[in-house]
Amino acid sequence: LRQLFVLGFAGFMNIQPAFAANPLIMDQFTADPTARVFEGKIYVYPSHDIKAPPGYKGKPDWFVMEDYHVFSSDNLTDWKDHGMIVSQTGVEWADPTAYAMWAPDCVFKDGKYYFYFPAIAKPEEKSEGSNEKKRPEFRIGVAVADKPYGPFKPLPNYIQGVRGIDPNVLIDKDGTAYLYYSAGKIYVAKLKPNMTEIEGEPMVIDNLPTKGLLEGPFALERNGIYYLTYPHVENKIERLEYAMSSSPMGPFKQAGVILDEADSGCWTVHHSILDWQGQSYLFYHDKDLSPGFDKNRAIRADKLFFNPDGSIRKVIPTLR
């Protein structure tokens, strides 16, 4: 009956319902899913929420994230956990006590898989002879593998010239790679062909909401349109919005809402968009496995539809 009601209402509103087996992963908390098709399968690179371990000294009731797993599926229902691929204790430059392995991405270029991840860097001495430490800051690192499931080898240092979180990489049709990330605003920088350094200075993306852009950009290209999708918070909870452009670096024009604020009250909505077997999907998260605490999240996927003019229809979240 509920589904019939949703279908009728969706038809009336010219929005497209979708049903999926959500949440996707049931045996651990997962968040911030970047989904990619590699070697004929869907690979999802989420971040990994955990309960604070004994002795944890970080901010209370906050994200606690020490590593990443990768999952694959060929039907969106049965998922294989390939295990831990990168951990805070295995990255030379990262503070191994920070539990801040936030939202990652992974792309394939010239035979290699590049896994991009944010983490808090080890505090450095401020200046010679001074014991003062710099404030902890987020940097973005890269780990490289020959296969989508690893083993991934983290590079010894983070990407120079980039301070921020939530890396996302778009490889354009001409092979140029662009790194998007957040640091209060959304930034973009061209990556050098080695995929581990940027060319020039990062640039702030203009014409987006002036407030409430905290995290989670995801860019894609479709039929010559470049989409920048991003969580936007106005009333404590994020909703997913997007902007369109004819170029990967903009200028972008705000175009609408993809996903409304979660009914559950989960305040983050990190996401990605994937085409799989002729259908687009929105991967995102909610707090299905932890209704009382929205820093222990669970990833979901729902169908996403484009209108003939390239605009995106609102996604209706589903649960199994």
Q: Which is nearer to ligand FUB, 17 or 266 (CB)?
A: 266
- Compute the least distance from the CB of residue 128 to ligand FUB, in Å: 34
User: Could you please report the per-residue DSSP string of 18-76?
Assistant: -----SS--SS--EEEEEEEETTEEEEEEE---PPPTT--S-TTS--B-EEEEEEESSS
- Structure-token pair, residue 27: 């045996």
| Residue 302 binding ligand FUB, by CB under 6 A | no
* Residue selected from 29, 45, 63, 226 as contacting ligand FUB according to rule CB under 6 A: 63
* Residue selected from 22, 168, 229, 268 as contacting ligand FUB according to rule CB under 6 A: 268
- Compute the least distance from the CB of residue 237 to ligand FUB, in Å: 12
| Residue 215 binding ligand FUB, by CB under 6 A | yes
- Compute the least distance from the CB of residue 118 to ligand FUB, in Å: 7
Strands lying side by side in the sheet with 218-222: 218-222, 225-233, 238-245, 253-259
Selection from 175, 114, 165, 164 nearest residue 143 by Cα: 114
Give the C-alpha separation, 198 to 176, whole Å: 11
| Residue 240 binding ligand FUB, by CB under 6 A | no
Binding mask 107-146 for ligand FUB (x = CB under 6 A): ----------------------------------------
32 annotated active-site: yes
Q: Are 248 and 219 in contact (CB under 8 A)?
A: yes
Give the C-alpha separation, 165 to 270, whole Å: 12
- Compute the least distance from the CB of residue 182 to ligand FUB, in Å: 8
- Compute the least distance from the CB of residue 196 to ligand FUB, in Å: 21
Selection from 288, 268, 154, 148 nearest residue 213 by Cα: 268
Q: Which is nearer to ligand FUB, 15 or 84 (CB)?
A: 84
215 annotated active-site: yes
Residues annotated as part of the active site: 32, 215
- Interacting residues toward ligand FUB by CB under 6 A: 31-32, 47, 63, 102-103, 165-166, 215-216, 268, 270
